């Protein structure tokens, strides 16, 4: 197996691990929205505690603006939630609405000598990524 193929597989595995964690967390948060405690891992947690766990997952949350004229106001147009870095690295990227809320979410991964690549996801995983991204504030 070539170095690039190994790196892509390593990045894919890391992305899948993060994706599974996000799906489990967002499923628990959705259940907790109805009230009461939800079993997550080995603990019974409230909605607030689960949301706190979600905010602790990323290394960073960043925005960038779209093209504008010099001197014009810059408004966030895209976001990135960095989940891990190094070899491999995983992030969630997407576009922002006019209200600076996530309008899309896609999972990307990369490893040494391999550029960022979108990772395949199911409809349920797309829901979890979008819900996870919506927990963060990207406004100015």
Q: Name the pTM for this structure.
A: 0.90
Please give the pLDDT value at position 1: 61
Residues of the chain with confidence (pLDDT) below 50? none
Q: State the DSSP code for 86.
A: S
At 13, give phi and psi (nearest 5°).
Answer: -65, -40
pLDDT tens-digit map of 11-38: 899 999 999 999 999 999 999 988 789 9
pLDDT at residue 29 in the model: 95
Q: Where are the beta strands (DSSP E) in the chain?
A: 38-40, 43-45, 60-65, 76-84, 89-95, 106-111, 114-118
């Amino acid at each position: 197996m070539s170095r690039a193929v190994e790196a892509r597989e390593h990045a894919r595995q890391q992305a899948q691990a993060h994706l599974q964690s996000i799906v489990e967390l967002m499923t628990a948060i959705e259940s907790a929205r109805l009230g009461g405690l939800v079993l997550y891992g080995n603990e019974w947690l409230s909605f607030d505690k689960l949301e706190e766990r979600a905010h602790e997952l990323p290394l960073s949350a960043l925005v960038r603006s779209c093209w504008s004229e010099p001197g014009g106001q810059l408004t966030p147009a895209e976001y990135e939630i960095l989940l891990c870095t190094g070899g491999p690295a995983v992030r969630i990227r997407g576009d922002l609405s006019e209200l600076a809320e996530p309008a899309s979410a896609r999972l990307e991964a990369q490893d040494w000598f391999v550029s960022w690549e979108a990772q395949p996801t199911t409809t349920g995983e797309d829901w979890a990524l979008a819900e996870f991204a919506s927990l963060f504030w990207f406004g100015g």
